[in-house]
């Protein structure tokens, strides 16, 4: 942790913030500009394209001082940034869906090299069937690769989280790449009022850049980056284990750091976001529904209506999906007797949503039987409406008195 | 306190200089002292006839300069001879009375003119030719000589005689042996040499011996065995050399005609080596130890001794001395490589064109290896011939061609065999 | 100590004994074309082969040792053994000392005479109509490079006879310590350049990129140093598989963006490090472990690779890089010249150097034959040595006007042993076609 972050003024008054109207992709681009990366590499893909277009325009207009690399594909996009990061650059890119799949090879390696690259995933469903629409399948597919992944609910959160992501990634206890996930279509193109932080304030928040203190390709301090580890019988495997364990420790450290950074953000800029898990009207609830990303807005409306109608239901929203916030979620789930989990992607192996599968693990740790079920909705850009959430609430409520169904509920199947 | 040096090299001619180079190739740091009785920088005795003739400037013959010794961190002690070797306590007693302790010593002290025990020789003034100072004195003397006598028809004597002839003196060469340049060239070659001299006005008295000398008004009167006399205003004694090894008196270093050495030039005392004209080493054609006081052998021996002293693992044993001589007389050349002795079952092939004076003699062993080759006005590459002998190259298939043209065929063999 | 000198080299196989070299020497040295007075002597016969007698300018010259007059000296700047006529006494002892007939009596002058290399421009060499004589000036490389630090660790573990280590060491010495080196998976890291278990094989920063992203990672590194105002070389030493196949996209992308990278491909025509599998640079007909020889099915025997090699360097020309060149380890002067140009070009944009590097293990030839195989590839025009830049276009640097039949190359190794006459004629026709194609490019661009 840099000194600057430790000297957070207790009573900071946020500077007057400019208010603008913009879409999520532009908000992400503005956040990137405020974080002052040295290098961005871009390759267009729907629904990410307008994000990199905004970045390119900010640079072209002199509003952002970064080297932009129009690479020939996502694989090279991430590879260029790896090189930049190893040479000391703060780096950024964005992708989604097939682009993310294409960059998987360097993607896997980024976390292993502990490079604090920030990448937005403007989430898009996985092909095939061919689709250019939103869904969490892309980000979910790579959840086990050692990147920190956070999901945003609003355009403002996209902007603020994009900036915070650099600070989380570059924290010396973390040193991991971070995905800021914003829902394709809903957040990428959704336009709303946004408060734009002051550059000087952001600079103070970010502190001193120091991204390759741990690994570098620099003739001033030559080293071999990622030499081969040998096979069994030598020290290769134990070296490998120490690397992996270090990655896991970084992931666990990030849970604390994400909280600290969100806290500092709130103090400096007056906007507070639940860093790991958000509870909405959970106190006094018998059961809960769980959400991720932009669907949460409609879900909250549905919760409000259900509460008004006397249902004892609350909402748990996950912001930090990787690492999975087990302890925080245990606290929230400890308050309820049943839970329904809404995913915007599928887990093929368990025939349920991926977040549901993760939740089942947490429920097991609770040591108490909590009936649960999986809902899958919003695939391929489908809307999850307040009406859909009422169905979710009703079905979850039934878990209090009836056996839980094994099959997931496909919310948009008959839309 | 006695001065100490790791390596002490005594002598300053070819053997000594090659030893210095070889030591420094392997041991760049060990203290190294070069001791020489000569007051001058190193030079070769072989060049002295040309100093006598005036062809070589006395200050242009030095083989190394002070800088060489400084660059190679060699302490050079000139004008101070080795007086006695105290091998038992690894110390050299010098002529100036000082002592020099060493770890290893090389005796490359060369040779001095052998002065024959002729009655009256000590009563007359005469010249020898072994040192630069000898040469400059002789150079001055020949300019005023009208009638000179040279005792000995070895290469030193012949060179000097030619210079005297060219300077205008009436020259007589007195040689005990039946021919000139005995031991270097055979009778036919010697005949060609003799003819060149007599054609130029010299008198050659071979098979002849001086029995008495006495001072005369112009210099000396020599009385020959047959009773005749010769008058000389300049007398040069060139009847051969003897190794400088008086300093060995009382030392355990074994010596015979010269200092006896092994195939790595080591003497009977482990940290004492010897090389060059004072050493007696194995011959190539005989296992007996022989004196082979020629320049190429001196360099070879010096190199081996230096490597052995420094412990250089690249050391190769001495293959044995091969006689090698070149002789330039009145614009003509004579070259001899190898032994004049015809081996058992061997064969001698000669080719002689009296009109042109071209003469070639090649000696082959029974199995068609070259053992010796001699030429007058017949040029071939002496170095190539020497390799043919040393490598014992089988010449069966090409002997005739070889004898017809040893220059071209030798080069072919060279290029195919050791290129 | 340890200095290297230029030298006159003789290829007996090319000599027909015409004697033009001797005429040229004698003319240059004594003003008349009397071959007997030449300091270079060709001996022998057409039946038995021609041989050479010439001063070798020995490092430890016996002629100098045995000269009693100090008339011969080794000039340690030029390497030439100099003869001083003012000191010489015509004793001929030098001719006895020399085992090589390198110094001999010149009857015309009455003195010895020897080669002095005409002060570094030997008259004999250009006079040879058959290129049997060459003046080898590679000493420059040794003398210059020898003073520079070897930036690889000692003891890289290449296969016996492999010349890639030579190439790597030379290249990195030349490029220097202010370098970030990328060695993607293949023989180069396989022999230990990136190191193992946390220890490095290189004294400069070095990394394993992916097989696929070498050029992209280097681009990022170079750009960041440029951004902060530091002069750092970005160097790749990659294999042909990673460059021409799976890594081609990032290579092409970086070239198109004209990233300031020096990208060297060591082309051993296959995935040799992983066990000799086929790459798109593997030539037609070659055995590899994935194009094996077998009886096949349906009467169609399996006879090695069935497609022609991709010509990666020509593809790079079509990116209009700052500099593109082909090179061979058998022609180090040519390679060095190109390396220097490539280094300079990489300061302006993308420089691509394609080095043909025979693989003793995968091509199946004796380990002492690497240079010979590399040389035969060029002498048959199987590979061509050329260079390209945008200003001057493409030009041959070592044109082979009288190429050997390609069989001379093919028979030098085991991977082509099974070829049928049809396959051989296919390869020969491809050589002709490729040559014509590159010649056309050279012609067009020079026009």
Whose structure tokens read 């532009």? A26
Give A103's pLDDT tier (boundaries 50, 70, 90).
very high
pLDDT in tens, C357-407: 999 999 999 999 999 999 999 999 999 999 999 999 999 999 998 899 999
Give dist(CA C322, CA C171) in Å, integer: 19
Given C52, C93, C107, which is nearest B326 (Cβ)? C93
Instruction: Say what percent of chain A tops pLDDT 90.
Output: 93
Q: What is the pLDDT of residue C12?
A: 87
The answer to whether the Cβ–Cβ distance between C180 and A223 falls below 8 Å is no
Under 8 Å CB-to-CB from B80, ≥6 apart: which residues? B35, B36, B37, B94, B95, B96, B98
Given C221, C228, C257, which is nearest A83 (Cβ)? C221
Assess whether pLDDT exceeds 80 at residue B414. yes
* Chain B contact set for C97 (CB, 8 A): 296, 299, 382-383
Whether domain B115-239 has CATH 3.50.50.60: yes
> Which of the pair, C334 or C138, is modelled with greater confidence?
C334
Contact C75, C93 (CB under 8 A): no
Task: Say whether residue C333 is in contact with chain B using an 8 A CB cutoff.
Answer: no
End-to-end CA distance of chain B: 53
Touching subunits of A (3+ CB pairs, under 8 Å) are C
Task: Say whether residue C8 is in contact with chain B using an 8 A CB cutoff.
Answer: no
Contact A129, A78 (CB under 8 A): no
What does the pLDDT average to over B14-32? 96
Distance from CA of B121 to the nearest CA of C (A): 31
Distance from CA of A89 to the nearest CA of C (A): 6
Report how far Cα B100 is from the mean position of its chain's Cα atoms. Answer: 29
Omega before A128 cis (within 30°)? yes
Distance from CA of B144 to the nearest CA of C (A): 24
pTM listed for this prediction? 0.79
Given C44, C70, C107, which is nearest B62 (Cβ)? C70
Whose structure tokens read 């025990």? B117
Composition of chain B by helix, strand, coil, percent to 5: 30, 30, 40
Give dist(CA B414, CA C358) in Å, integer: 33
pLDDT in tens, A77-89: 999 999 999 999 9
Q: Which long-range contacts (CB under 8 A, 24 or more apart) does A161-165 make?
A: A161/A31, A161/A273, A162/A27, A162/A28, A162/A31, A162/A32, A162/A35, A162/A118, A162/A120, A163/A31, A163/A34, A163/A35, A163/A197, A163/A202, A163/A205, A163/A206, A163/A265, A164/A261, A164/A262, A164/A265, A165/A118
Whose structure tokens read 């040559």? C435
* Chain B contact set for C99 (CB, 8 A): 383-384, 386-387, 414, 418
What does the pLDDT average to over B277-286? 93
The answer to whether the Cβ–Cβ distance between C196 and A219 falls below 8 Å is no
Q: Which long-range contacts (CB under 8 A, 24 or more apart) does C118-126 make?
A: C118/C28, C119/C78, C120/C6, C120/C78, C122/C8, C123/C24, C123/C25, C123/C27, C123/C28, C123/C29, C124/C8, C124/C21, C124/C22, C124/C24, C124/C25, C124/C38, C124/C40, C125/C8, C125/C21, C126/C24
Q: What is the pLDDT of residue B334?
A: 92
* Chain B contact set for C100 (CB, 8 A): 383-384, 414, 419
Domains of chain A: 3-269 (3.40.50.970), 277-410 (3.40.50.920)
Whether domain C7-139 has CATH 3.30.70.360: no
What does the pLDDT average to over A283-305? 98
The C-alpha angle with vertex B294 and arms to B288 and B295, in degrees rounded to 5, equals 135
The answer to whether the Cβ–Cβ distance between C93 and B387 falls below 8 Å is no
> CATH fold of C148-446, please?
Rossmann fold (3.40.50)
Q: What is the pLDDT of residue B419?
A: 65
Contact B156, B138 (CB under 8 A): no
Q: What is the pLDDT of residue B379?
A: 86
Q: What is the pLDDT of residue A12?
A: 53
Question: DSSP secondary structure string, B109-163?
Answer: --EEEPPP--TTGGGS--B--SSHHHHHHHHHHHTT-SEEEEE--SHHHHHHHHH
Name which of C8, C59, C84, C91 to mutate to probe chain B: the one with the most chain B Cβ atoms within 10 A of its Cβ.
Answer: C91
The answer to whether A and C touch (≥3 CB pairs < 8 Å) is yes
* Half-sphere exposure in the Cβ direction for B5 (13 Å, CA): 21
What does the pLDDT average to over C270-275? 94
Distance from CA of A228 to the nearest CA of C (A): 5
Q: Which of residues 49-88 of C touch B (CB under 8 A)?
A: 51-53, 62, 65-66, 68-70, 86-87
Residues of B with CB under 8 A from a CB of C: 14, 18, 44-47, 50, 55-56, 60-63, 295-296, 299, 303, 324, 326, 328, 331, 333, 335, 337, 379, 381-384, 386-387, 408, 410-412, 414-416, 418-419
Least Cα distance to C245 among C302, C194, C292, C315 occurs for C315
* Half-sphere exposure in the Cβ direction for A125 (13 Å, CA): 22
Residue ranges per structural domain of chain C: 7-139, 148-446
What does the pLDDT average to over B13-18? 97
- C279 CB-contact burial (10 Å; exposed 0-12 / middle 13-18 / buried 19+): buried
Averaged pLDDT score across all residues of chain A: 95
What does the pLDDT average to over C185-204? 90
Under 8 Å CB-to-CB from C219, ≥6 apart: which residues? A69, A76, A80, A83, C234, C254, C257, C259, C261
Q: What is the pLDDT of residue B1?
A: 66
Assess whether pLDDT exceeds 80 at residue A359. yes
What does the pLDDT average to over C160-188? 94
Q: What is the pLDDT of residue C251?
A: 98
Paired residues of C352 in beta bridges: C263, C324
Given C66, C68, C87, which is nearest B60 (Cβ)? C87
User: Residue B30: what are its φ and ψ, rounded to 5°?
Assistant: -55, 135
Assess whether pLDDT exceeds 60 at residue A9. no
What is the H or E stretch that residue B299 is in? helix B295-310
pLDDT in tens, A190-210: 999 999 999 999 999 999 999
Task: Characterize the bridge pairing of strands C7-10 and C133-136.
Answer: antiparallel
* Chain C contact set for B419 (CB, 8 A): 51-52, 100
The answer to whether the Cβ–Cβ distance between C66 and B299 falls below 8 Å is yes
Distance from CA of A83 to the nearest CA of C (A): 4
pLDDT in tens, C56-86: 999 889 999 999 999 999 999 999 999 999 9
pLDDT in tens, B309-342: 999 999 999 999 999 999 989 988 899 999 988 9
Give dist(CA C40, CA C19) in Å, integer: 10
Give B418's pLDDT tier (boundaries 50, 70, 90).
confident
Give A6's pLDDT tier (boundaries 50, 70, 90).
very low
Give dist(CA B62, CA C56) in Å, integer: 25
Give dist(CA C230, CA C219) in Å, integer: 14
Distance from CA of B302 to the nearest CA of C (A): 11
Residue of B nearest to C55 (CA): B419
Give C1's pLDDT tier (boundaries 50, 70, 90).
very low
Which two tokens mark B288? 């007996």
Whose structure tokens read 């956070």? A150
The answer to whether the Cβ–Cβ distance between A75 and C250 falls below 8 Å is yes
Name which of B64, B385, B411 to mutate to probe chain C: the one with the most chain C Cβ atoms within 10 A of its Cβ.
Answer: B411
Question: How many contacts, defined by CB atoms under 8 Å, are there between B and C?
Answer: 112
Other C-beta atoms closer than 10 Å to the C-beta of B416 total 14
Given C198, C212, C216, which is nearest A83 (Cβ)? C216
What does the pLDDT average to over C176-200? 92
Give C138's pLDDT tier (boundaries 50, 70, 90).
confident
Q: What is the pLDDT of residue A8?
A: 44
H helices then E strands: how many in chain A? 14, 16
Contact B248, B93 (CB under 8 A): no
* Chain B contact set for C65 (CB, 8 A): 14, 18, 299, 303
What does the pLDDT average to over C247-265? 98
Paired residues of B419 in beta bridges: none
Whether domain B331-417 has CATH 1.10.10: no
The CATH 3.30.390 portion of chain B extends over: 331-417
Give A7's pLDDT tier (boundaries 50, 70, 90).
very low
Question: How many contacts, defined by CB atoms under 8 Å, are there between A and C?
Answer: 161
Q: What is the pLDDT of residue B399?
A: 93
Lowest-confidence segment of A393-397, B291-295, C419-423 by average pLDDT: B291-295
Give C155's pLDDT tier (boundaries 50, 70, 90).
confident
Instruction: Say what percent of chain B tops pLDDT 90.
Output: 85
pLDDT in tens, B55-85: 999 999 999 999 999 999 999 999 999 999 9
* Chain A contact set for C179 (CB, 8 A): 219
Given C204, C217, C252, which is nearest A79 (Cβ)? C217
pLDDT in tens, B91-101: 999 999 999 99
Assess whether pLDDT exceeds 90 at residue A411. yes
Q: What letter would DSSP give residue A353?
A: -
pLDDT in tens, A23-34: 999 999 999 999
Q: What is the pLDDT of residue A15?
A: 64
What is the H or E stretch that residue A250 is in? helix A236-269
Query: Alpha helix (H) ranges present in C1-81?
Result: 20-30, 62-66
The answer to whether the Cβ–Cβ distance between A223 and C200 falls below 8 Å is yes
Assess whether pLDDT exceeds 50 at residue A5. no
Please report the ipTM that was assigned to this predicted complex.
0.94
The answer to whether the Cβ–Cβ distance between A225 and C207 falls below 8 Å is yes
Instruction: Say what percent of chain C tops pLDDT 90.
Output: 83
Residue of B nearest to C48 (CA): B412
What does the pLDDT average to over B236-247? 95
Contact A166, A249 (CB under 8 A): no
* Chain A contact set for C151 (CB, 8 A): none
**Four-residue CA torsion sign, B186, B188, B193, B198:** positive
Give dist(CA B142, CA A43) in Å, integer: 100
- The CATH number assigned to the domain with range B3-111+242-310 reads 3.50.50.60
Q: What letter would DSSP give residue C364?
A: T
Distance from CA of C336 to the nearest CA of A (A): 23
Residues of C with CB under 8 A from a CB of A: 177-180, 189, 194-210, 212-213, 215-225, 227-228, 232, 249-250, 252-254, 256-257
Residue of A nearest to C249 (CA): A72
Q: Which residues of B137-168 are buried (b: 16+ CB within 10 A; e: fewer)?
A: ebbebbeebebbbbbbbbbbbbbbbbbbbebe
Give dist(CA A31, CA A178) in Å, integer: 14
Give dist(CA B303, CA B291) in Å, integer: 18
* Chain C contact set for B333 (CB, 8 A): 92, 105
Contact C266, C273 (CB under 8 A): no
Instruction: Say what percent of chain C tops pLDDT 70.
Output: 99
* Chain B contact set for C62 (CB, 8 A): 296, 299, 383
């Amino acid at each position: 942790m840099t000194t600057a972050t430790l000297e957070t003024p207790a009573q900071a008054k946020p500077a007057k913030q400019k208010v603008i109207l913009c879409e999520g992709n532009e908000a992400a681009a503005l956040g990137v500009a405020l974080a002052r990366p040295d290098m961005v590499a871009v390759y267009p893909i729907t629904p990410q394209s307008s994000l990199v277009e905004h970045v390119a325009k900010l640079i072209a207009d002199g509003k952002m001082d970064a080297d932009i690399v129009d690479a020939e594909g996502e694989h090279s996009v991430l590879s260029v940034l790896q090189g930049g990061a190893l040479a000391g650059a703060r780096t950024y890119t964005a992708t989604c869906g097939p682009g993310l799949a294409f960059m998987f090879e360097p993607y896997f390696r980024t976390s292993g090299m502990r490079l604090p690259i920030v990448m937005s995933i403007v989430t898009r469903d996985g092909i095939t069937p061919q689709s250019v629409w939103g869904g969490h399948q892309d980000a979910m597919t790579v959840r086990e690769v050692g990147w920190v992944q956070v999901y945003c609910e609003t355009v403002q959160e996209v902007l603020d989280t994009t900036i915070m992501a650099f600070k989380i990634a570059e924290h010396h206890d973390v040193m991991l790449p971070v995905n800021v996930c914003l829902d394709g279509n809903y957040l990428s193109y959704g336009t709303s009022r946004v408060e734009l932080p002051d550059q000087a304030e952001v600079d103070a928040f970010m502190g001193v850049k120091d991204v390759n203190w741990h690994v570098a390709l620099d003739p001033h301090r030559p080293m071999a980056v990622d030499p081969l580890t040998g096979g069994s019988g030598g020290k290769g495997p134990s070296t490998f284990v120490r690397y992996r364990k270090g990655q896991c420790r970084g992931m666990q450290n990030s849970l604390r750091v994400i909280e600290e950074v969100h806290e500092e953000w709130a103090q400096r800029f007056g906007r507070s976001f639940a860093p790991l898990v958000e509870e909405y009207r959970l106190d006094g609830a018998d059961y809960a529904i769980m959400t991720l990303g932009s669907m949460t807005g409609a879900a909250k409306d549905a919760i409000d209506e259900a509460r008004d109608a006397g249902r004892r239901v609350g909402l748990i929203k996950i912001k930090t999906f990787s690492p999975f916030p087990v302890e925080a979620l245990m606290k929230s789930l400890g308050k309820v007797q049943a839970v329904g989990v809404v995913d915007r992607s599928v887990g093929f192996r368990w025939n349920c949503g991926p977040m549901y599968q993760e939740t089942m693990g947490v429920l097991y740790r609770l040591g108490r039987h909590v009936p649960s079920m999986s809902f899958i909705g919003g695939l391929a850009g489908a809307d999850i409406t307040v009406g859909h959430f009422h169905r979710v609430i009703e079905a979850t409520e039934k878990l209090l008195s009836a056996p839980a169904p094994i099959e997931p509920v496909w919310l948009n199947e008959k839309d | 306190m006695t001065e100490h040096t790791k390596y002490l090299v005594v002598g300053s001619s070819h053997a000594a200089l090659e030893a210095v180079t070889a030591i420094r190739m392997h041991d760049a740091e060990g203290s190294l002292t070069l001791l020489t009785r000569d007051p001058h920088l190193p030079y070769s005795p072989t060049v002295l006839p040309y100093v006598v003739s005036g062809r070589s400037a006395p200050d242009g013959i030095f083989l190394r300069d002070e800088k060489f010794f400084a660059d190679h961190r060699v302490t050079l002690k000139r004008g101070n001879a080795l007086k006695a070797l105290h091998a038992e306590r690894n110390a050299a007693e010098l002529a100036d009375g000082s002592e020099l302790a060493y770890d290893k010593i090389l005796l490359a002290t060369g040779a001095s003119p052998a002065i024959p025990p002729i009655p009256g020789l000590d009563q007359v003034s005469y010249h020898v030719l072994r040192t630069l100072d000898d040469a400059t004195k002789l150079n001055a003397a020949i300019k005023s000589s009208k009638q000179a006598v040279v005792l000995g028809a070895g290469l030193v004597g012949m060179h000097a005689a030619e210079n005297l002839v060219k300077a205008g003196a009436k020259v007589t060469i007195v040689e005990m042996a039946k021919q000139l340049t005995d031991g270097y060239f055979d009778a036919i070659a010697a005949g060609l040499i003799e003819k060149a001299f007599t054609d130029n006005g010299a008198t050659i008295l071979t098979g002849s011996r001086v029995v008495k000398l006495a001072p005369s008004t112009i210099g000396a009167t020599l009385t020959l065995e047959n009773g005749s006399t010769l008058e000389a205003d300049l007398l040069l004694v060139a009847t051969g050399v003897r190794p400088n090894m008086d300093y060995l008196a009382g030392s355990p270093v074994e010596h015979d005609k010269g200092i006896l050495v092994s195939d790595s030039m080591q003497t009977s005392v482990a940290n004492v080596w010897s090389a060059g004209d004072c050493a007696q080493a194995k011959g190539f054609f005989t296992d007996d130890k022989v004196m082979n006081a020629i320049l190429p052998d001196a360099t070879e021996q010096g190199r081996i001794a230096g490597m052995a002293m420094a412990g250089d693992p690249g050391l190769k044993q001495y293959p044995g001395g091969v006689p090698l001589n070149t002789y330039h007389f009145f614009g003509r050349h004579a070259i001899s490589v190898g032994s004049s002795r015809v081996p058992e079952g061997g064969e001698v092939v000669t080719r002689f064109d009296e009109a042109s004076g071209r003469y070639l003699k090649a000696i082959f062993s029974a199995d068609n290896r070259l053992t010796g080759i001699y030429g007058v006005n017949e040029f071939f590459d002496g170095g190539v011939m020497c390799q043919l002998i040393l490598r014992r190259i089988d010449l069966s298939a090409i002997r005739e061609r070889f004898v017809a043209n040893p220059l071209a065929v030798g080069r072919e063999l060279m290029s195919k065999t050791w290129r | 100590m340890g200095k290297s000198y230029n030298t006159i080299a003789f290829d007996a196989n090319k000599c027909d004994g015409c004697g033009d070299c001797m005429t040229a020497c004698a003319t240059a040295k004594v003003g008349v074309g009397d071959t007997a007075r030449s300091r270079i002597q060709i001996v022998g016969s057409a039946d038995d082969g021609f041989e050479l007698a010439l001063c070798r300018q020995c490092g430890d010259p016996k002629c100098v040792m045995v000269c009693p007059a100090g008339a011969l000296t080794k000039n340690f700047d030029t390497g030439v053994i100099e003869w001083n006529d003012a000191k010489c006494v015509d004793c001929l002892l030098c001719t006895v000392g020399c085992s090589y007939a390198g110094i001999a009596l010149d009857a015309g002058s009455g003195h010895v005479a020897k080669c002095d290399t005409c002060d570094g421009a030997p008259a004999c060499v250009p006079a040879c109509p058959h290129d049997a004589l060459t003046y080898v000036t590679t000493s420059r490389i040794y003398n210059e490079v020898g003073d520079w630090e070897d930036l690889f660790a000692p003891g890289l573990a290449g296969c016996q006879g492999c010349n890639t280590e030579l190439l790597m060491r030379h290249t990195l010495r030349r490029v220097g310590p202010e370098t970030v080196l990328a060695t993607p998976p293949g023989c180069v890291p396989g022999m230990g350049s990136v190191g193992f278990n946390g220890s490095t094989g290189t004294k400069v920063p070095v990394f394993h990129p992916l097989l696929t992203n070498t050029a992209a990672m280097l681009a990022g590194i170079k750009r960041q140093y440029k951004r902060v105002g530091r002069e750092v070389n970005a160097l790749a030493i990659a294999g042909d598989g990673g460059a021409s196949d799976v890594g081609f996209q990032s290579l092409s992308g970086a070239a198109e963006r004209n990233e300031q990278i020096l990208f060297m491909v060591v082309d051993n025509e296959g995935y040799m490090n992983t066990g000799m599998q086929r790459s798109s640079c593997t030539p037609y007909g070659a055995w590899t472990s994935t194009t094996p020889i077998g009886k096949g099915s349906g009467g169609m025997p399996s006879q090695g690779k069935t497609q022609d090699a991709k010509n990666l360097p020509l593809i790079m020309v079509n990116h209009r890089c700052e500099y593109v060149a082909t090179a061979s380890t058998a022609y180090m002067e040519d390679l060095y010249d190109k390396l220097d140009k490539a280094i300079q070009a990489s300061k302006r944009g993308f420089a691509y150097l394609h080095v043909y590097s025979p693989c003793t293990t995968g091509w199946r030839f004796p380990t002492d034959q690497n240079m010979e195989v590399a040389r035969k590839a060029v002498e048959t025009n199987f590979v061509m040595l050329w260079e390209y830049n945008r200003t001057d276009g493409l030009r041959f640097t070592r044109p082979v006007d009288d190429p050997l039949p390609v069989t001379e190359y093919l028979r030098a190794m085991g991977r082509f042993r099974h070829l049928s006459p049809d396959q051989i004629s296919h390869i020969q026709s491809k050589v002709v076609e490729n040559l014509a194609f590159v010649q056309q490019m050279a012609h067009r661009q020079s026009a």
